[in-house]
Amino acid sequence: MVLVFKDTVLTNKGFDVSNRAALGQTPFSIFKAVSTDTDLTNYKIEDLKNLTSLPNEIDSGTILDYDSPQNSISVINLDFNNSQFKQGYTIRAIGLYGKTANGDVFLHSLTVSDTSVVVPEISGNIFDGVKHSISIFSGNNKNMNVNIQQTSNATVKYVNDSISNISDTIKNDIQPKLDAKADKIYLDEKVDDISEENQKGFEGLGNLIQPLLNIDEIKKDIDNRFKGYQDDLDKKQNDVSLISQNNKLYYNGTPVLIANAPNQPKLDVNIDRDTGNLTYQITPPSVDGGASISNYLISYRLITDDNWQTKQIDGNTLYGQIAGLQRGQTYQFKVIATNYAGKSIESETKQILTAIAPRGVKINITNAVGAFSYEISVEDDGGAKQ
């Protein structure tokens, strides 16, 4: 049964947790796989990244195994079958759920099928289903753990560890005991006084023990038992590849989602009429490139200067003021956005005149008997309150 899946998409929460885990700030685990019959093919990438749960979950799959042939890549093998369903069901998308060290559960990633696949109803005692591998780019997966169900097959790492433990047990425990027993049995010069019948008995016992003393035969038997696992591992390592094609990263033939620099932000500037300072308002990029905006860099200069001055703003701060500008001068302003993948292109340059002294001040005096009145008017307040 074959599914045609689109690129694996990390949700916003999944990317944030994976990124912090890659930086060593927090561990997390992938503990559950689910499927849905909801058609998500019309969802945009941004819509999928904003999901916090998979809609209309139908079945929980089994996490069979996972491999991390490279530090930045994880391949998780899944199985969905009809063992819990008398009737068949349809799969349109598969999602992985993660759990933080604090126990918070979140939708980590998902992959959408271009076509629906029906898992048939149970026929007799034969289960049918779908096996699928999800490849994710995890940055540095030393802080990511994948919970494998106990009913699944042994992983390659488990097999290798088992072989190593058996070899160590033979070398450090069994072999010394067998050597000591053999020395005791075959000290012929110390058993000259035993009877011929007893001597034959010792010889028979020696013939039974001798095969146990051959460590090479034991290792050969172990090698034969696990040769199939090693062959599978060699084939998997030979098949794995990480290449760049058409400006996209492919792992073992599957596209991998990675972060890019953000798109262009927008900048608006005005003169604060109360203080005369410049106020700015930043509009974040419409696309953040798949990574959170870490900071903004505002650059400004007198229109007559060649050099720009730069002010760094936190990625969550979109409004503020810049003081200390010369009065009655024309300034230029621009901003760029940055994430860990790089910098955006510059925003459009804004030009503004700072506050100047009022102009066109007039006073109108009216005479009256024993008193007078006056009225002051200003044609241009210079961009600031009087």
Task: Write the pLDDT tens digit of every residue in 247-269.
Answer: 556 666 666 656 788 999 999 99
pLDDT at 205: 60
Q: Are 163 and 228 in contact (CB under 8 A)?
A: no
pLDDT at 69: 65
Distance CA 143, CA 132 (A): 24
Average the pLDDT over 92-99 and give the result.
Answer: 93
Distance CA 114, CA 174 (A): 57
CA atoms within 13 A on the CB side of 341: 16
Residue 1, pLDDT above cutoff 50: no
In this structure, the number of other CB atoms found within 10 A of the CB of residue 189 comes to 6
pLDDT level of residue 153 (50, 70, 90 thresholds): very low
pLDDT level of residue 154 (50, 70, 90 thresholds): very low
List Cα–Cα distances, 274 to 151, 175, 278, 331, 351, in angstroms. 71, 90, 11, 19, 20
Highest mean pLDDT among 171-175, 188-192, 254-258: 171-175
Give me the chain's average pLDDT, please: 78
Distance CA 5, CA 257 (A): 14
Residue 194, pLDDT above cutoff 90: no
Q: What share of the chain is helix, strand, coil (3-state, %, to 5)?
A: 25, 40, 35
Residue 2, pLDDT above cutoff 60: no
Distance CA 108, CA 8 (A): 10
Which strands make up the sheet holding 254-256, listed edge to edge? 242-245, 248-251, 254-256
Q: Which one is predicted more confidently, 42 or 368?
A: 42
pLDDT at 155: 45
Q: Which residues pair with 83 in a beta bridge?
A: none
pLDDT at 226: 66
Amino acid at 168: D
Task: Write the pLDDT tens digit of every residue in 321-362.
Answer: 999 999 889 999 999 999 988 899 999 999 999 877 676 677
Output the six-digit token pair for 147: 């919970």
The residue count for the chain: 386
Helix axes 156-169, 227-239, angle to 10 degrees: 140
3-class secondary structure, 354? coil
Residue 313, pLDDT above cutoff 90: yes
pLDDT at 213: 57
pLDDT at 22: 82
Task: Write the pLDDT tens digit of every residue in 71-89.
Answer: 667 888 888 877 766 677 8
Residue 17, pLDDT above cutoff 60: yes
Task: Write the pLDDT tens digit of every residue in 205-234.
Answer: 666 566 555 667 666 777 776 666 666 666
Average the pLDDT over 194-208 and give the result.
Answer: 59
Q: Which of 278, 254, 281, 251 is nearest to 266 (CA)?
A: 281
Output the six-digit token pair for 338: 């940055």
Percent of the chain with pLDDT over 70: 66
pLDDT at 367: 73
Q: Which one is predicted more confidently, 314 or 289?
A: 314
Q: Which residues touch 213 (CB under 8 Å, ≥6 apart)? A: 178, 179, 182
Amino acid at 305: D
pLDDT at 193: 53
Average the pLDDT over 39-49 and give the result.
Answer: 92
Residue 52, pLDDT above cutoff 50: yes
Q: Which residues touch 195 (CB under 8 Å, ≥6 apart)? A: none
